Amino acid sequence: MNPQRISVKLFVAPDPTAAVEFEPFTPLFHEFIQKASVPGLLVDVADYAHVPNGPGIILIGHDVDYGIDSVAGKAGLLVVRKRYGKAALAEIARDTIARAAACAKAIEDDGRTGVAFSAAAIELQILDRLEAPNDAESFDSARAELEPLLNGLFGDCSIERTSGDDARKPTTLLARANGDVMLAKLGG
């Protein structure tokens, strides 16, 4: 499988359903651009905080976007990797997860947002519907390719399909650790 866009979401800890204040992320993300604090060629910050259960604040880049969102009522750091070329899904996922961990660490280390992230679960979406339509076959293929990577990061983890059968939605996998996982481990 060779998708051109995937996303990884790390959920806010301890409760991803709790409200997140988006305002502190705008100046923080502008600083990330100025100081090159996170990986990628970063371009701009977009504020969609007014949209309920929406995209929140997005740090837009050429090859990667970072955002704090509350889609589906669960707040988290959403990292979208794009323009990746001919790499395999597992390689793209490893890179995207590492970028998510780096950004989460930068946000936590800064401290002004008061937000922390959990490494107990990640949501991975294959946003390239031509390469991976939302069906059982695409899920099984993605799971087979990603399972060694995810088990390496989480130990023995559970991987489930959370996108249902709606063809308009991307294939979505939720990987849950069966024990404690340090955020730093996801970057390695």
Predicted confidence (pLDDT) per residue in 122-162, tens digit: 999 999 988 999 999 999 999 999 999 999 988 889 999 99
Task: Output the pLDDT for position 187.
Answer: 74
Angstrom distance (rounded) from CA 186 to CA 96: 10
Task: Output the pLDDT for position 102.
Answer: 96
Task: Output the pLDDT for position 150.
Answer: 94
**Quick check: 99 and 39 in contact, CB under 8 A?**
yes
Domain spans of the chain? 5-186
What does pLDDT average to in each consecutive run of 10 residues of the chain (188 residues)? 93 94 97 97 96 94 97 95 88 96 96 94 94 95 96 90 92 90 73
Task: Output the pLDDT for position 186.
Answer: 81
Angstrom distance (rounded) from CA 28 to CA 34: 10
Distance (Å) of CA 62 to CA 33, 39, 42, 82, 94: 12, 11, 6, 8, 19
